[in-house]
């Protein structure tokens, strides 16, 4: 089975690229983030023509997540247990489903903005709700993984220059402790195999030169339980999907499993 995750940074303008990538990469399940569209606006028919069922969750223009599956799509759950709000609004940032015997979640963790912004506290509260949700999901007894844009670089090596990020979100101790809490629950960080550089990144700002010079971050992650992690036969960042005209600022992560 091949599973993948991709922050597409708006599904509508990126749809032709997503459809092309589905046809070439052939994932069995694709988790999407940052749809920037409502649930009803997701292009369900376009992906159905390629054999994928869709579970989408979108509210407003700044978030939205989905799971596309060609191996079944059951028990869809939208939102986290005890999920916090921001400015009295709920964001669409998490969706779970059972696909081909796996329990998978697509998550788009809040950015946090900066350390003095209320959004940073919201991010930490959201991560606490994610931990609670993972605990509940593990009780199902199904092989489990949570995939998506975590907006956290797990280590200093996961950013191109830690000096640039030292006073910003994405690298703070409380954020990294939230990832450690997931590992304490038995989840493992499925590290992508480097294809071009010694350390794979998944996000590069649109500013000129950042992508070709590999000034990026590894903030898109796959956290898997022992069953899924033990079944990994390959994993990589598809840098090719970040190239060309009108790309997302993120690249997909692809994970191959032998279950």
Per the annotation, binding residues for Mg(2+) are: 7, 34, 149, 151, 249-250
Rounded to whole angstroms, the Cα distance separating 14 from 20 reads 10
Name the active-site residue from 52, 108, 122, 223: 108
Distances 107 to 28, 92, 124 between C-alpha atoms, Å = 18, 9, 14
Is there a catalytic annotation at residue 223?
Answer: no
Is there a catalytic annotation at residue 108?
Answer: yes
Is there a catalytic annotation at residue 197?
Answer: no
Binding residues: 7, 34, 149, 151, 249-250
Q: Give rounded-to-5 percent helix, strand, coil for the chain.
A: 30, 30, 45
Name the active-site residue from 91, 158, 189, 250: 250
Beta strands in the chain, from DSSP E residues, in sequence order: 2-7, 29-33, 53-57, 65-69, 74-78, 94-99, 102-108, 144-149, 188-189, 203-204, 216-217, 220-224, 232-237, 253-257
Name the active-site residue from 28, 91, 149, 238: 149
- Residue of 237, 242, 240 lying closest to 254 (CA atoms): 237
List the catalytic residues.
108, 149, 250
């Amino acid at each position: 089975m091949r599973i993948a995750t991709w922050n597409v940074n708006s599904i509508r303008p990126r749809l032709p690229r997503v459809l092309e990538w589905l046809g070439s990469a052939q994932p069995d399940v694709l988790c999407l983030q940052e749809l920037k569209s409502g649930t009803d606006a997701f292009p369900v028919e376009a992906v159905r023509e390629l054999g994928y069922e869709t579970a989408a969750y979108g509210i407003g223009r700044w978030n939205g997540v989905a799971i596309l599956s060609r191996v079944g799509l059951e028990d869809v759950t939208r939102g986290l247990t005890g999920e916090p709000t921001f400015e009295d609004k709920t964001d669409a940032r998490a969706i779970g489903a059972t696909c081909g015997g796996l329990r998978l979640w697509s998550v788009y963790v809040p950015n946090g903005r900066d350390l003095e912004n209320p959004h940073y506290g919201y991010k930490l509260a959201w991560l606490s709700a994610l931990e609670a949700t993972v605990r509940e999901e593990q009780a199902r007894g199904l092989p489990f993984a949570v995939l998506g844009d975590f907006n956290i670089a797990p280590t200093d090596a996961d950013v191109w220059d830690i000096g640039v990020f030292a006073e910003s979100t994405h690298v703070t101790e409380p954020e990294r402790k939230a990832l450690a809490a997931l590992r304490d629950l038995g989840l493992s960080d499925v590290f992508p195999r480097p294809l071009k550089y010694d350390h794979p990144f998944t996000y590069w700002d649109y500013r000129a030169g950042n992508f070709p010079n590999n000034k990026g971050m590894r903030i898109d992650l796959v956290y898997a339980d022992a069953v899924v992690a033990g079944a990994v036969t390959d994993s990589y960042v598809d840098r090719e999907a970040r190239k060309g005209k009108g790309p997302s600022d993120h690249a997909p992560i692809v994970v191959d499993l032998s279950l």
